[in-house]
Chain A
Amino acid sequence: AQSVTQLGSHVSVSEGALVLLRCNYSSSVPPYLFWYVQYPNQGLQLLLKYTSAATLVKGINGFEAEFKKSETSFHLTKPSAHMSDAAEYFCAVSPYNTDKLIFGTGTRLQVFP
């Protein structure tokens, strides 16, 4: 069965520091991959998606992620954290030729001044 693993349920960074949120997937066929963000008391919003085009994907709010097939990873990065980036981030995989998403358990990002 397909699955997604997010390493670290909580990540804390200082404002201006690099943000790195880790996501690994298990799939025999490269799937579609997504990162979603959830701000407090809100629904999920798409940050970026990988759909077998460019391996480096740029999203909103300065985030980007790189698909690495050899490592089965899709880590999310941002060069410089902002206070407004504090939220919960979910990695998700859509297995090939399905109509469902499988979510990771989420990583809560805290940004300190």
Chain B
Amino acid sequence: DTEVTQTPKHLVMGMTNKKSLKCEQHMGHRAMYWYKQKAKKPPELMFVYSYEKLSINESVPSRFSPECPNSSLLNLHLHALQPEDSALYLCASSQALAGVETQYFGPGTRLLVL
């Protein structure tokens, strides 16, 4: 199994809603990532988890809350989002945090905030 899965594929939410994005991998990777991608722009790193501990937080607003319940799962909890948060949210994983290894990306969750 060499894939990263993400659910849901699409999500529409209001600014007062609470929702969660889910990411899963069964490759034994110990580093997992959340990226945000706006249209026609490259991905922007949001968070990195290494061995289930938050390693990097790229000054992301607190309305985004990551969680890594175990080595295969990564969640992104969303609360009180703004319309400008509408984007493609990509999850990725890699064998280790540093060194020369490939990141495997999931298909993304396309989020629309109304």
Q: Do A and B come from one complex?
A: no
Residues of B within 8 A of A (CB): none
